[in-house]
Structure 1
Amino acid sequence: MATAGQLIVDTLAAHRIDRVFCVPGESYLGLLDPLFGRADVDTVVCRHEAGAGFMALADARMTGRPGVAMVSRGPGASNASIAVHTAQQDGVPFILFIGQVAARDVRRDSFQEIDYGHMFGKIAKWTVEVTDPNRMPETMLRAIQVATTGVPGPVVIAIPEDVLTAECDGATVMPQARPTAVPDASSIVLLRELLTSAKRPLVLAGSGIDSAEARAMLLTFLEAWNVPSVVSFRRQDLLPNKHPLYAGDLGLSNPATQMDVLRDCDLLLNIGARFSDITTQGYTYPQLVRPEMKLAHIHADPAAIGTHSDIAIACHPTLAIAAVGKPDRSLPDRSDWIGRLSKERTKISSVRTFDVSDGVPFEDVVDVVGQHLPGDAIVTVDAGTFGAPIYRVIPFKPPQRLLAPISGAMGFGVPAAVAAGLRQPDRTVVCFVGDGGFLMTGSELAVALERKLPLKVIVSENNIYGSIRIHQERGYPGRIVGTSFVNPDLELIGKAYGCAVTRISTRAEVNRIPDLLRAPGPQFIVVDTSIQAIISRPGNVREAIE
Structure 2
Amino acid sequence: MTQATAASDTTGFSTASEYPLRNGGQILVDQIRLHGTKRVFLVPGESYLPCIDALNEHKGAIEPIVCRQESGAGYMAEAYGKLTNEPGVCFVTRGPGATNASIAVHTAYQDSTPMILFIGQVGGDFIEREAFQEIDYRRMFGEMTKWVAQIDDTSRIPEYIARAYQVARSGRPGPVVLALPEDTLWGEAQVADVKPHPRLMTYPGQPQLDELKRLLASAERPFLLVGGSGWTRDAQVALEGFAERFDIPTGVAWRRLECVDAELPQYAGHVGMGMHAELRQQLVESDLVIAVGTRIGEATSEGYSWIQSPVPTQKLVHVYADPEELGRVYQPTLAINTDVNGFALALSTLSPDSAPRWSDITRAARTAYLATLEEQPSPGPLSLDKVSLTVDRILDGKGCITVGAGNYALYAHRYVRFRGLGSSLAPTVGSMGYGLPAAISSKLEFPERPAVCYAGDGCFQMNMQELGVALQYRVGIVVLVFNNGMWGTIRAHQENDFPGREIALTFTNPDFAALVTAYGGLGQVVEKDEDFEASFTRALEFADRERLPALIELRYDPDGIAPGKLLSGIREDALARNATTAQAGV
TM range (shorter): over 0.9
**Preserved CA contact (<8 Å) 1:375 1:400:** no
1:528 and 2:551 aligned: no
- For residue 43 of structure 2, what is the aligned residue in structure 1? 23
**Preserved CA contact (<8 Å) 1:183 1:320:** yes
The amino acid across from 2:460 in the alignment is: F
- For residue 132 of structure 1, what is the aligned residue in structure 2? 153
Deviation at 1:286, TM superposition (A): 2.2
Match of 2:337 among 291, 308, 314: 314
Question: 1:511, 1:424 → 2: CA distance?
Answer: 24
Question: 1:168, 1:536 → 2: CA distance?
Answer: 67
- For residue 319 of structure 2, what is the aligned residue in structure 1? 298
Give the unaligned 5+ runs of structure 1. 542-546
1:498 and 2:520 aligned: yes
Question: 2:495, 2:443 → 1: CA distance?
Answer: 38
For residues 199-222 of structure 1, the C-alpha deviation after alignment (integer angstroms, 9 at most, x for no partner) is 221111012462222221221111
* Aligned counterparts, 1:217-232, within 5 A: 217-232=238-253
Q: TM-score, normalised by structure 2?
A: 0.88
Deviation at 1:225, TM superposition (A): 1.6
Give the unaligned 5+ runs of structure 2. 1-20, 544-548, 562-566, 574-586
1:394 and 2:434 aligned: no
- For residue 583 of structure 2, what is the aligned residue in structure 1? none
**Preserved CA contact (<8 Å) 2:76 2:438:** yes
- For residue 341 of structure 1, what is the aligned residue in structure 2? 365
The amino acid across from 2:33 in the alignment is: A
**Preserved CA contact (<8 Å) 1:376 1:398:** no
Question: 1:9, 1:209 → 2: CA distance?
Answer: 25
1:327 and 2:348 aligned: no
Match of 2:482 among 460, 465, 489: 460
1:427 and 2:457 aligned: no
The amino acid across from 1:536 in the alignment is: S
For residues 489-520 of structure 1, the C-alpha deviation after alignment (integer angstroms, 9 at most, x for no partner) is 21221101111111101122123245225413
Q: Return 366-375 or 338-347, whichever deviates more.
A: 338-347
**Preserved CA contact (<8 Å) 1:421 1:453:** yes
- For residue 544 of structure 1, what is the aligned residue in structure 2? none
- For residue 3 of structure 2, what is the aligned residue in structure 1? none
Deviation at 1:290, TM superposition (A): 2.4
- For residue 382 of structure 1, what is the aligned residue in structure 2? 404
Deviation at 1:239, TM superposition (A): 1.8
Question: 1:482, 1:304 → 2: CA distance?
Answer: 39
**Cα 1:85–1:208 shift into 2, 3 Å:** closer
**Cα 1:505–1:328 shift into 2, 3 Å:** closer
Question: 1:429, 1:256 → 2: CA distance?
Answer: 31
Q: TM-score, normalised by structure 1?
A: 0.94
For residues 216-271 of structure 1, the C-alpha deviation after alignment (integer angstroms, 9 at most, x for no partner) is 12211111221111111111122222332111121215355432221222221111
- For residue 211 of structure 2, what is the aligned residue in structure 1? 190
The amino acid across from 2:220 in the alignment is: K
- Percent of pairs identical after alignment? 37
- For residue 380 of structure 2, what is the aligned residue in structure 1? 356
Deviation at 1:116, TM superposition (A): 0.8
For residues 103-153 of structure 1, the C-alpha deviation after alignment (integer angstroms, 9 at most, x for no partner) is 111111111101111111111111111212122122112211111111111
Question: 2:75, 2:571 → 1: CA distance?
Answer: 31
Aligned to 2:447, the other structure's residue is in SS state: coil
Deviation at 1:342, TM superposition (A): 2.5
Deviation at 1:438, TM superposition (A): 1.4
Question: 1:374, 1:24 → 2: CA distance?
Answer: 39
Match of 1:178 among 188, 193, 199: 199
**Cα 1:182–1:507 shift into 2, 3 Å:** closer
The amino acid across from 2:338 in the alignment is: C
The amino acid across from 1:239 in the alignment is: V
**Length, aligned pairs only:** 539
Deviation at 1:413, TM superposition (A): 0.7
Aligned to 1:305, the other structure's residue is in SS state: coil
Q: Return 164-173 or 138-147, whichever deviates more.
A: 164-173
Q: Return 374-383 or 70-79, whichever deviates more.
A: 374-383
The amino acid across from 2:477 in the alignment is: L
**Preserved CA contact (<8 Å) 1:202 1:227:** yes
Deviation at 1:37, TM superposition (A): 4.6
**Preserved CA contact (<8 Å) 1:137 1:173:** yes
Q: Return 240-249 or 425-434, whichever deviates more.
A: 240-249
Q: Give the CA RMSD over aligned residues.
A: 1.9
Question: 2:33, 2:230 → 1: CA distance?
Answer: 26
**Preserved CA contact (<8 Å) 1:262 1:341:** no
Deviation at 1:472, TM superposition (A): 1.3
- For residue 129 of structure 2, what is the aligned residue in structure 1? 108
**Cα 1:69–1:190 shift into 2, 3 Å:** same
Match of 2:463 among 441, 452, 456: 441
**Cα 1:356–1:505 shift into 2, 3 Å:** closer
Deviation at 1:197, TM superposition (A): 3.6
